[in-house]
Amino acid sequence: MEKLDQRIQLVASNEFSKMVDEWRRTQSDLPSRSEAIRRLVQRGLRYEKEHPMHMITAIIRPHKYDEVRAALLELGVEGITVSQVKGFGRQRGQTEIYRGAEYETVEVPKLRLEIAVDQNLLNQVVETVQKISSTGKIGDGKLFVHSLDEVVRIRTGERDQQALR
């Protein structure tokens, strides 16, 4: 007969335990800490199953694009949307010298990459873009990961993972 109940030991930080306890207090039936963790894990697994596609938005330095593009194609990424954008973060612009005069630019030119991937490629794409885009200096950019509820290929009507291929 198969054993139906297994104990799993979990080592967690005080901060994690506090977050779980705060969540469980919002539940009407006030579950035990172990039941709260079980419910949260089930919710996370269900969410991951229901949202297997992701949109990665990367803001990178323009001179890093060719290297990032080549690496993503090697990973099997099927498409990338690229836009020229301007913005600032911590660096708050930059100082330029033009014809001997110094002036400050508030927004810095960047490239915005939008990459739709399924769950299988997500971590590889994020790690690859982060590794290749990093110079170790302020202004390297950011990566944003969003869940995609639905994708439709306009030409064929294919949906979701089929539309990403």
pLDDT in tens, 24-75: 999 999 888 888 998 899 888 887 777 788 999 999 999 999 999 999 999 9
pLDDT of residue 3 exceeding 80, the answer is: no
Nearest 5°: CA angle at 62, between 68 and 123?
30
Q: Residue holding tokens 């005080």?
A: 14
- Return the pLDDT at 107: 82
- Return the pLDDT at 94: 63
pLDDT of residue 103 exceeding 70, the answer is: no
User: b/e for 4-28, b at 16 or more Cβ within 10 A?
Assistant: eeeeeeeeeeeeeeeebeeebeeee
- Over residues 123-136, the mean pLDDT reads 95
- Over residues 114-139, the mean pLDDT reads 93
User: b/e for 110-129, b at 16 or more Cβ within 10 A?
Assistant: bbbbebbbeeebbeebbebb
- Structure pTM? 0.68
Q: Are 133 and 96 in contact (CB under 8 A)?
A: no
- Return the pLDDT at 137: 86
pLDDT of residue 4 exceeding 70, the answer is: no
- Return the pLDDT at 61: 94
- Return the pLDDT at 55: 93
- Return the pLDDT at 89: 79
**What fold does the segment set 53-164 form as a domain?**
Alpha-Beta Plaits (3.30.70)
Backbone angles phi, psi at 102, to 5 degrees: -95, 135
- Over residues 150-159, the mean pLDDT reads 87
- Return the pLDDT at 98: 64
- Return the pLDDT at 30: 86
| Helices 65-75, 119-133: inter-axial angle, 10-degree rounding | 150
Q: Are 104 and 97 in contact (CB under 8 A)?
A: no
